[in-house]
Amino acid sequence: MAFSIESDSTLATAVGPSASPLSLTGVSGAGSMTNPYFLPATPWEFLLAAGRATAAIFSPYKQLFEISSHWAIARWFWAIDWSSTDIALSPHAGEIHNHHRAAFSEAMGLAAALLVAEHQAGHALPSGLWRGGPMLVDVDSLGHSGQRPDLLIFFGQPAHTTYVIEAKGNRTGRDVSIKQLRRGIGQVLALRGAAERLVVGAAAPGPGLTVHAITVQGPQSKSPGGRRRLAAAEEQAFAMELGRLASFAGAAGLGESEWNREDSVFAIPQLGRQIVGRNLVLAGEGLSAEISMGVDREIVENLSQVRSPKDLAALRARVNAADNHRTPPGNEAQLSLMETGRAAAVALDGCALSISLR
């Protein structure tokens, strides 16, 4: 299971002189339109990534976002074809009208951008560092206005690498993606300083989904405004990440003793995990689904003991010590959800998704 990524010199040239191709190591393909990179990911891992990325907004003054932190998973569950091992639109998703398709493809763009950044960090940082998982900051949460990217992603113990991410989406195809990538260059350059800058676009014309990506060389000399923005992001990233996890677990307003409530702890037997979160049943004629969404129980229960990004990375690394559970075990990785009736993924940041069809 994988999704394709076009990112070569031909694409970069079409986007403009500021664009450069990604160099994805450890994957098959060459990044061209006819032979794209294939980044391993399951459809449910892709859906989880959309939920993780869109749950990045957190502030004590934005409590309403806490109750909608899983919106992408709940909203787009039906739009993905669960009878396929590829990340594709469901047969009925073609009936989505224009604005719905655009919103879907933008959410998928965020998912692809997060998975690409995690892959890049895993091959760029010293072995073991990235297993602690990333810290995500929604740039809108920083409070400034004007041109800006979507996400800042910090990796390391503490952050050794900063990724500035702009994600795009459309319902048309490659030509529109190229125009969107071109517009995204200014957005990833809006925050100055040393960082990796990625613009990632997902096109969902149906039934397939194609991803296009470029990297942008940014100005390394920091302007006063850029320095303030990046410094503020680094200072706030840790607290915001703790809030994002608590929000995704549905535990943002709970006391520590309440995290173990029977109605908030769900088992993922196929991965030998328990998560703290929410359970949602989608009932339809002939097919129903039970979806559990949340954060690994061990991580949630230890958040109150975490005092620094290094502590958080160490906690995540310890929880992920056996393996990272990014795909189901054994042969199930090659089967669709319709064939197995159940699927699960636990990301490196501890966020988890479990799906059972009935």
Residues 6+ apart with CB under 8 A from 347: 45, 48, 49, 52, 133, 326
In this structure, the number of other CB atoms found within 10 A of the CB of residue 178 comes to 18
Residues 86, 338 contacting (CB under 8 angstroms): no
pLDDT, tens digit, 9 for 90 and up, residues 286-320: 788 999 999 999 999 898 889 988 899 889 988 88
Torsion sign, CA atoms 266, 269, 274, 276: negative
Per-residue confidence (pLDDT) for residue 11, from 0 to 100: 98
Q: How far, CA to CA in Å, does 101 sit from each of 97, 169, 202?
A: 6, 9, 11
The length of the chain in residues reads 358
**Nearest CA among 324, 315, 321 for reference residue 297:** 315
Per-residue confidence (pLDDT) for residue 320, from 0 to 100: 83
Which secondary-structure segment (H or E) carries 184?
A: helix 174-188
Phi, psi angle pair for 61, to nearest 5° = -95, 5
Query: Which two three-digit tokens encode residue 54?
Result: 């869109």
Owner of token pair 């895993």: 122
Q: Give the whole-angstrom CA distance, residue 127 versus residue 130.
A: 7
Q: Give the whole-angstrom CA distance, residue 138 versus residue 240.
A: 9
Query: Which two three-digit tokens encode residue 170?
Result: 């459309």
Residues 6+ apart with CB under 8 A from 19: 11, 12, 13, 181, 182, 185, 199, 214, 215, 216
Facing residues of 334 across strands? none
In this structure, the number of other CB atoms found within 10 A of the CB of residue 123 comes to 14
Residues 129, 53 contacting (CB under 8 angstroms): no
pTM: predicted TM-score of the whole model, two decimal places: 0.91
Per-residue confidence (pLDDT) for residue 269, from 0 to 100: 86
Exposure letters 41-61 (e unless 16+ CB within 10 A, then b): bbbbbbbbbbbbbbbbbbeee
Residues 207, 88 contacting (CB under 8 angstroms): yes
Local confidence pLDDT in tens for the 358 residues of the chain: 789 999 999 999 999 999 999 999 989 999 999 999 999 888 999 999 999 998 866 555 556 666 677 888 988 888 888 988 888 888 777 676 566 666 788 889 999 999 999 999 888 777 767 777 899 988 877 766 678 899 999 987 666 788 999 999 988 899 999 999 999 999 999 887 778 999 999 998 877 789 999 999 876 544 444 445 666 677 778 888 888 888 888 876 666 666 667 778 999 988 888 999 989 998 887 788 999 999 999 999 898 889 988 899 889 988 887 654 555 555 666 788 999 899 999 998 999 999 999 8
Query: Which two three-digit tokens encode residue 3?
Result: 């999704």
Per-residue confidence (pLDDT) for residue 98, from 0 to 100: 62
Q: How far, CA to CA in Å, does 274 sit from each of 260, 299, 303, 313?
A: 11, 10, 16, 20
Per-residue confidence (pLDDT) for residue 15, from 0 to 100: 97
Per-residue confidence (pLDDT) for residue 229, from 0 to 100: 60
DSSP per position, 135-175: EEEEGGGG---SS--SEEEEETTTTSEEEEEEEEEESS-HH
Exposure letters 104-116 (e unless 16+ CB within 10 A, then b): bbbbbbbbbbbbb
